[in-house]
Amino acid sequence: MEDLYTTLAILSLVAFVVMLFTAASDKVVVYFDLKDLLLTMSPWVMAILTFILLHLFQHEGELNMAYLSGMQKFVHKAGVVSTIAISLYSIRKAQIYNKSFFVGFMVGVFRLVSSLIAFVVLLEQVYTLFHSKTTYREATIATMTIGIFVWMGNKLINGDRVYIKNGWDNN
């Protein structure tokens, strides 16, 4: 079973690298514009907001998913449904922008997974920057990491470049 996990991890990494290269060479539209990038990150923001709201509506003690109040059940269901709906909408937008069902699906999944990774890394780096016990070295590394992710995000916002390269009309 461990070999299966290793194989899946290697295949996932290869797929991720291939998708990065196809995006960097403007063969596929990863994010059409900044609004599309923010749309793709919004499921993860919604998941965090759901978690925060669940804790705001909890009674004394820790959050137990087996004994949720009525409001907590509503918030939980609304958060899950909206996270799934936004994720599916993001994949559909990738299909529309790439003018291909299969390529758009692959790009949509890639951008959801990569936006989750970027979201977690950026949150951690921002936390590191503003933590009171952060050393100068840690702050420098955090700033450089944020800069690299901003640069990569800017490179992956390539809708206009792909449309011009392929002669597509972006209306």
Please tell me the predicted confidence (pLDDT) of residue 155: 83
C-alpha dist (Å) from residue 9 to 4, 14, 118, 131: 9, 9, 18, 33
- 55/68 Cα distance (integer angstroms): 11
pTM score: 0.82
Q: pLDDT band at 134, cuts 50/70/90?
A: confident
C-alpha dist (Å) from residue 87 to 4, 59, 94, 121, 122: 27, 31, 11, 19, 20
Please tell me the predicted confidence (pLDDT) of residue 150: 87
- 117/153 Cα distance (integer angstroms): 12
- pLDDT at 94 > cutoff 90: yes
Mean pLDDT of 141-150: 89
Mean pLDDT of 112-123: 86
Phi/psi region, residue 157 (left: phi>0; alpha: psi -120 to 50; beta: rest), is beta
- 31/111 Cα distance (integer angstroms): 8
Mean pLDDT of 155-168: 87
Please tell me the predicted confidence (pLDDT) of residue 61: 63
Contacts of 37 (CB under 8 A, 6+ apart): 31, 115, 153, 156, 157
- pLDDT at 168 > cutoff 80: yes
Please tell me the predicted confidence (pLDDT) of residue 42: 93
Q: pLDDT band at 120, cuts 50/70/90?
A: confident
Mean pLDDT of 120-146: 86
Please tell me the predicted confidence (pLDDT) of residue 46: 93
Please tell me the predicted confidence (pLDDT) of residue 63: 61
Which position has the token pair 């925060």? 52
- pLDDT at 62 > cutoff 70: no
Q: Where are the domains of the chain?
A: 28-166
